[in-house]
Amino acid sequence: MHTFKDGAWKGRCSDRRRATLMRSRLCTQANRSATGRVLYAAQPSGDVALPDCWPQREWRRLRESVREPGATVADRQDAFPGICCVAAPVWWPDGTCAGSVTVRVLSSTLPPRLPDLVSHAARRVGTALAAATE
């Protein structure tokens, strides 16, 4: 049995090329997904090498907007055909990104209120993190 787990291909040695291709494909999909863009964009400047699949101007704009209150990032079938996604950053009290809240829907369009709901959920998780660290 062959599996892809924790960034490594578990299987025969002859499957190494397939593992490399799969990691490459996953990285590309992560850069296109709302979740991947939120996590990359929320990193402190200089802490992460930004993917080259987006122009620097777009990354700079995304990095600025993702820090705004209530910010969300949406992908409309950008990473996967037939799946739309909304992600919002979750912040630690010190202003670093703890992760993201993400909702994926099997649809060609986003439900109208979904970005607001995802943003609200991310703020609640951030609030809970702050309370847990006091």
What are the boundaries of each domain within the chain?
Answer: 33-132
33-132 fold: Beta-Lactamase (3.30.450)
pLDDT digits over 58-99, tens only? 778 888 888 898 999 988 887 778 888 999 999 999 999 999
Q: At 115, is the pLDDT very low, low, confident or very high (cuts 50, 70, 90)? A: very high
Cα three-residue angle 52-103-62, rounded to 5 degrees: 35
Euclidean distance between CA atoms 34 and 113, whole angstroms: 16
DSSP-derived pairing of the beta strands 73-76 and 83-91: antiparallel
